[in-house]
Chains A and B, each alone.
Chain A
Amino acid sequence: MSSKLKRKDIIKEFENGKLSITKVLRLLNNQQTTYNNLALKTKEEPPNTSEKKIKKIKDRLEGLIGLRKIKNLVEELEAFVKIQQKRNNLNLATEPLVMHMVFKGNPGTGKTTVARIFGELFKELGLLSKGHLKEVERADLVGEYIGHTAKKTREVIDEALGGILFIDEAYSLARGGIRDFGKESIDALVKGMEDNRDDLVVILAGYPEEMEYFLQTNPGLSSRFPIKVDFEDYTIEELIEIAELMLREREYKLSKAAKNKLYRLLDKKRELSGPQQGNARTVRNLIEEAIRTQAIRLVKNKKILKEDLMTIQPEDFK
């Protein structure tokens, strides 16, 4: 330990007549206090810090628009974990804490964002050691020849250890025919989940219907993912809120007319292509495009006021 070495050095210096004994004691004392503080930290973080962090994470989740069901789920999970931990401390029988999940929802409904939040939350609750998010899709898991898939999947799992393995479009693993190695990946995944059940959470995500079908045709899998979360499509009002949130973060705002135009735009998009296309991601694209269009519009003006710079007008939406 580095602090013990220093102690030896300090005493050596004293023996060589370089330090007075009073100085030595003072040095040893300071060093000992720092050492003690470090030990406290590594052994057991005072509960306040974890609680504060958990509150911060939950606040972030609250800040997201919609997602009412997920917010309730988080409350449930947090309570469940804490109670099991309390029971464990009192030597009562505990439920196994299986946190693998299935996220069903259209693109742009917040699946990855929420997965990331879960990672951080689980770290603070003591369920995961690192709490990071490893996002993968089929191409990262499936190989081209026998044995390649298992290796690829194992490597991915290794990188995800201590955090969350987020598999997007998970159903694609089961799509191929006889010569497809998707199945091999599923087997390797299940084995990885078994071997690392203490420090890994796996989240399968994708379109609702496809995910349903995938789980039904792989019944063994379904039972391993006890938590199933539906990510509902945002209402258009919610999408407007998201748009305003995104703009606020960049210090822009929507004029009333622009807001109305955006509403009509989103409504039309939804009608045409359905919710598969009309979610938060679409909104972000629209916003970013509007920002660029606004720039082109304003740059022609001789006088540009601060108010102009901040406001998105209806003509900025094409």
Chain B
Amino acid sequence: MTKSLVIGQTNVGKTCFAINFADYLGIKELKFTIRQPAGFLSKQTYELQTALKELVCPEEHTTKEIQEIQLKLPAGKGYQRVNLIDSCGLIEGIHPQEEIRLAMAQTLRKIQESNIILHLIDLSKLNTRRLKELPELDLEIYNYCKTKKCYAILANKIDLKIARNNLEFLQERLGHEIIIPISALYQQGFKEVKKFLLKNL
């Protein structure tokens, strides 16, 4: 089963993307397999809309546990199955809460185990006028993942005006090929994401 990991800083829209992408693919009920950092699994079923309400929330660090969603991508006459793994947002510095550090460590481990890495970047947060560079953390994630396996950057929030300028900056810095501009909330750019996943299965 192909494992596709969604990774990125906190509040970039990873969970929002995962759930909306599932919705886009026509999944009505989300069966979440939640793996607690301590190790054991628990299964929960959500209706998609409920999931959106409960799991996507503006407070930082809402996804503490990693959620795995089984997706069915229509391919030809049938389907290709992919496990989409939502992860705990990574945050710069040393976090004071051990719980969160453990969850982030689990994300790091998942990078090794996954076949495909989807790196979400919040375009609206790229302060390109002040910073001449990308946030260090995203740069390190890029360096680490680009050589390993199938890697794509999902540049999120293109529905926002400011995001479009920042997109250009990002494309210039990291190259057009690996960047897929999306809006997780409005389900834009999902066709490209689907194409990318299918190509690399």
Contact (Cβ within 8 A) A28 B144 = yes
Does A236 sit at the interface, judged by CB under 8 A?
Answer: no
Cα separation A173 to B175 with both chains bound (whole Å): 72
Contact with B along A13-29 (1 / 0, CB 8 A): 01111111110111011
Contact (Cβ within 8 A) A21 B92 = yes
CB of B52, distance to nearest CB on chain A (Å): 28
CB neighbours (8 Å) of A19 from chain B are: 94
Contact (Cβ within 8 A) A17 B98 = yes
Contact (Cβ within 8 A) B143 A15 = no
Contact (Cβ within 8 A) A17 B143 = no
Cα separation A44 to B136 with both chains bound (whole Å): 35
Contact (Cβ within 8 A) A11 B144 = no
Contact (Cβ within 8 A) A15 B140 = no
Q: With A26-B140, A28-B144, A29-B144 in contact, do A21 and B102 touch (Cβ < 8 Å)?
A: no
Does B28 sit at the interface, judged by CB under 8 A?
Answer: no
Cα separation A33 to B146 with both chains bound (whole Å): 12
Contact (Cβ within 8 A) B140 A25 = yes
Contact with A along B71-109 (1 / 0, CB 8 A): 000000000000000000011111110100110110011
Contact (Cβ within 8 A) A25 B94 = no
CB neighbours (8 Å) of A235 from chain B are: none
Contact (Cβ within 8 A) B101 A11 = no
Which one of A11, A16, A18, A32 lies within 8 Å of B109 (CB-CB)? Answer: A11
Contact (Cβ within 8 A) B109 A29 = no
A30-68 residues with Cβ-Cβ distance < 8 A to B are: 32-33, 36
Contact with A along B110-153 (1 / 0, CB 8 A): 00100000000000000000000000110011011001100000
Number of residues on chain A facing chain B (CB within 8 A): 19
CB neighbours (8 Å) of A17 from chain B are: 94-96, 98, 101
CB neighbours (8 Å) of A14 from chain B are: 101, 104-105, 108
Q: Chain A residue with minimal CB distance to B9? A: A21
Contact (Cβ within 8 A) B144 A25 = yes
Contact (Cβ within 8 A) A11 B92 = no
Contact (Cβ within 8 A) B108 A20 = no
CB of B133, distance to nearest CB on chain A (Å): 13
Q: With A15-B101, A17-B94 in contact, do A29 and B140 touch (Cβ < 8 Å)?
A: yes
Contact (Cβ within 8 A) B104 A22 = no
Cα separation A17 to B102 with both chains bound (whole Å): 10
Which one of B92, B96, B98, B144 lies within 8 Å of A20 (CB-CB)? Answer: B92
CB neighbours (8 Å) of B136 from chain A are: 22
Cα separation A22 to B94 with both chains bound (whole Å): 9
CB neighbours (8 Å) of A29 from chain B are: 140, 143-144
Contact (Cβ within 8 A) B137 A22 = yes
A293-310 residues with Cβ-Cβ distance < 8 A to B are: none
Contact (Cβ within 8 A) B104 A21 = yes
Contact (Cβ within 8 A) B94 A20 = yes
Cα separation A11 to B95 with both chains bound (whole Å): 14
Cα separation A19 to B109 with both chains bound (whole Å): 16
Contact (Cβ within 8 A) A21 B98 = no
Contact with A along B35-76 (1 / 0, CB 8 A): 000000000000000000000000000000000000000000
CB of A84, distance to nearest CB on chain B (Å): 36
Contact with A along B137-172 (1 / 0, CB 8 A): 100110110011000000000000000000000000
Q: Chain A residue with minimal CB distance to B96? A: A17
In the complex, 27 of the A-B residue pairs with CB atoms within 8 angstroms, ordered by the A residue number, are A7-B112, A11-B109, A14-B101, A14-B104, A14-B108, A15-B105, A17-B94, A17-B95, A17-B101, A19-B94, A21-B91, A21-B92, A21-B93, A21-B137, A22-B92, A24-B108, A25-B108, A25-B137, A25-B140, A25-B144, A26-B143, A28-B108, A28-B144, A29-B144, A32-B147, A33-B147, A36-B147
3 pairs of A and B residues whose beta carbons are closest in the complex: A25-B140, A29-B144, A15-B105
Chain A interfacial positions (CB closer than 8 Å to B): 7, 11, 14-22, 24-26, 28-29, 32-33, 36
Known: A15-B102, A22-B140. 19 other contacts (CB 8 A): A11-B105, A14-B104, A15-B105, A17-B96, A19-B94, A20-B94, A21-B137, A22-B92, A22-B137, A25-B141, A25-B143, A26-B140, A28-B108, A28-B144, A29-B140, A29-B144, A32-B144, A33-B147, A36-B147
